[in-house]
Chains A and B, each alone.
Chain A
Amino acid sequence: MSNAAPILSLRGVTRRFGGLVAVRDVDLDVVPGTIHGLIGPNGAGKSTAFDLVSGVTPVSAGTIRFDGRDVTHLPVHMRVEAGICRTFQTPRLFEAMTVLETVLTGRHRHARCGFLGSMFSLGAKARDEAQQTEVALRLLALVGLDGEADTTVSGLSYGARRKLEIARALATEPRLLLLDEVASGLNPVETEFVAGIIRRLAAEGMTIVLVEHDMRFIMGLCERVTVLNFGARIADGPPVSVTGDEAVIEAYLGRPRTDATPRREARRQHG
C-alpha cells in the first residue's frame, strides 16, 4: 500500500519556540488516498505539526513537500491553493456569519467574482453566487447542516461547529485534509457520523490526516498511524503494530516524564 509516491512528505521537520522544541526532527510520509493518523499524548507536538504543514507556523528546520513540490516556505493561502486545508483543535469560525456564508467563504478561491464585479456586475455575479451557493449547500448536506444554513454561527452547538468547520475546509476542494481532534467534544452518535464522512471522503480519493488522542477513533479509521511523543516520532506503521509498540504504550500509560527522554532516544529507530 505504500508503493505510491507520498502526497505529503516531511523530512527532518523541527520547530523551536524559544528554548522549547515542540517538534523535533520529524519524518513523515502520507500515502495518497489514505487516512493517516497522527497520535500522541497531550503536548506531543501533534497540533504544532499541523501548524507547520498548513503554514500557520513556520518551520525552524526541515522540508515539507506536497505532491512532489517543496511547500516549506509557502504562505498559508498558497498552500490552500496547492490543495492543503485544515481544521483547528478548537473550531475557528466566523462568529457573525451564517452557516451558509461560512461555507461560501471557503469557496473564496473557486468563486470568480472580483472586486469591481461584486459591485457593478449584474448577471455574472448572480450566476457565480448561485453556483457557489449550490456547492456550499451540497457540502452542508454532507455534514448534516443543511437545515441550519441560515443560522448564525455563534448560535451553533459544539458538534455543529465542528461539522461546519469540516464543510468550510471541504469548500476549498483540498486534496489533503488535515483534521485536528475532529472528534473531541462530540457525542458517540456525532463521532460515528463524522467518521462516516471521513471514510466517504477517503473513498472518493481525498487524503486525510487526523490528529487525535482518542486512540479508538483513530484505530478504527486509519490505515497508517504515526506516533509523536515530546515532539519526536516514536512509532510509525499500521495501527495494529503501533498499538503493540512498547514505546507507545509507555508514552500513553507509563508517562514517567523524567526517564522518558533517554528511552525515547533509544527507540528512535522504530517505524
Chain B
Amino acid sequence: MSAAPANAVTPAQSPAQPGRRGRGHRDWIVFAVLMAIAWLLPIWLGGFALYLGCVVAFHAIAALGLQIMVGLAGQLSLGHAAFLGIGAYTTVLLEKNFGLSFPVACLGAVFASALAGLVMAQLVRLSGIYFKIATFGFGIIVHQIISNWVSLTGGTAGVKGVPPISFLGWTATSRLDLFIAEMVALTVVYALLIRLTHGRIGRAFRAIGQNEVAARSIGVPTHRYQIVAITLGCAIAGLGGSFIPHVFRFVSPETFTWHESLLILIMITVGGLGSLAGAVIGAALLVVLPEYLRDFAQYKMLAYGVFLILALVFMPRGIAGVGSSLAERFGRGRRP
C-alpha cells in the first residue's frame, strides 16, 4: 500500500504546470482592462463624465480598502465612512492650516486613518457580531465629532476654499489633472493589493475570512492578521478620503454618514465580496447608475437596497463572481 505514494514524497519532477498561474494572470488581465476603461473613458467623454470619474475613483479606492477587510479577511465594518472622513478632514486641514502640499497632507491622512483603524482594530477581540456593532458605533462617534467640533472642522457648515492639489511645482488646475492624480493613486493601490493577495499575507487574510478556526489551526496568528487587515483597509480609506475635498471643493460631515458606509458596503457586495476587481466595478456602478437615473432621485436609496438584496440572492459572488464563472466555463469549453 505504500507503493501508491512511494514516489510522491521525493521532490523529483514537479508535475507540469499548465494553467498554474491561471488565476494570477487573470487578475492582471482584469486589472489591465478595468484600468484602461477607468482611465480612458472619462477622459474621452470629458465634462460631467470626467467629474463622475473623479467620484468613482475615490470610491473605488475606499471600496478596495473595505474589500480587504470584509471580502478577504472577513471583518465586516459598518463604519467605513468614518475613515474616509478622517482622511478628508486631515488632508484639508493640513493643507489649509499648515500650508502643506497635497502629497504630504495625504500621507498624514493615511497615517491618521491607519491610526484610527488600529484603535478600532483593538476591538477584534470582541466576538464576531459584537465587533460589527462596535464598528457601527465607531462610525457614529467619528461622524458626531466632525459634525460638532466646530473650531476644528467648521461643524456642519464644513470646510470651504480647498486649495488645489500641488506636487513639486505641478498644480492640478483642471478637473483632468485631479482625475489623473486620483487615477494614479487608484492604479497603484489596486496593483499593490493584487500583489498582496497573491502572496503569503493575502492568503492568510483570505484564510481568516473563509475559516478562522482552520486558519489558526495551521499556524496563522489570526488576531494579529485581523488587526493588520483592518488597519490596512482603514489606511486605504484615508487615502481615498484625502481626494474628497478636492473633488467636491468642499467637505462637510454630510458626506460621511452611515449611508456612505452602507454605500461602500453595497459596492463591494454587488461587485463581488472578496474580489478586488469587484470593488472597482461596484464603485463605478453605484456612482454612475444613479446619476443617469436622476429623474428617480428619490428612489436612489430604495434602488440601492433592492440592488443589494437582489445581488445577495441571485449572485452571492457579485458581478465579479458571475464574470469569473463565465470565464471558467468559457475556458473549460475551449479546452478539450
Contact = CB atoms under 8 A, between A and B. Distances in A.
B201 interface: yes
A108 B219 contact: yes
B195 A108 contact: no
B201 A115 contact: yes
Contact of B219 (A115, A144, A150, A172): A172
Contacts of B217: 54, 56, 76, 80, 85-86, 88, 92, 169
B1 A104 contact: no
Given A54-B217, A92-B214, A97-B206, A113 B200 contact: yes
A8 B4 CA distance: 30
B333 interface: no
Interface in A88-115: 88, 92-98, 100-101, 104-109, 111-115
Interface string B3-33: 1111011010011000110110000000000
B196 interface: yes
Given A137-B15, A141-B15, A115 B206 contact: no
B335 to A, nearest CB: 12
B206 A88 contact: no
In the complex, which range does the number of interface residues on chain A fall in?
A: 35 or more
B120 interface: no
A164 to B, nearest CB: 11
Interface string A116-155: 0111100001001100111001100111101101100000
Given A92-B211, A94-B210, A193-B4, A105 B216 contact: no
Interface residues of B, number: 42
B220 A105 contact: yes
B221 interface: yes
Interface of A: 54, 56, 75-77, 80-81, 85-86, 88, 92-98, 100-101, 104-109, 111-115, 117-120, 125, 128-129, 132-134, 137-138, 141-144, 146-147, 149-150, 168-169, 171-172, 192-193, 195-197, 199-200, 203-204
Given A106-B218, A112-B200, A119-B196, 4 more contacts: A94-B215, A108-B204, A142-B8, A203-B2
Interface of B: 1-6, 8-9, 11, 14-15, 19-20, 22-23, 192-193, 195-196, 198-204, 206-207, 210-211, 213-222, 228, 274
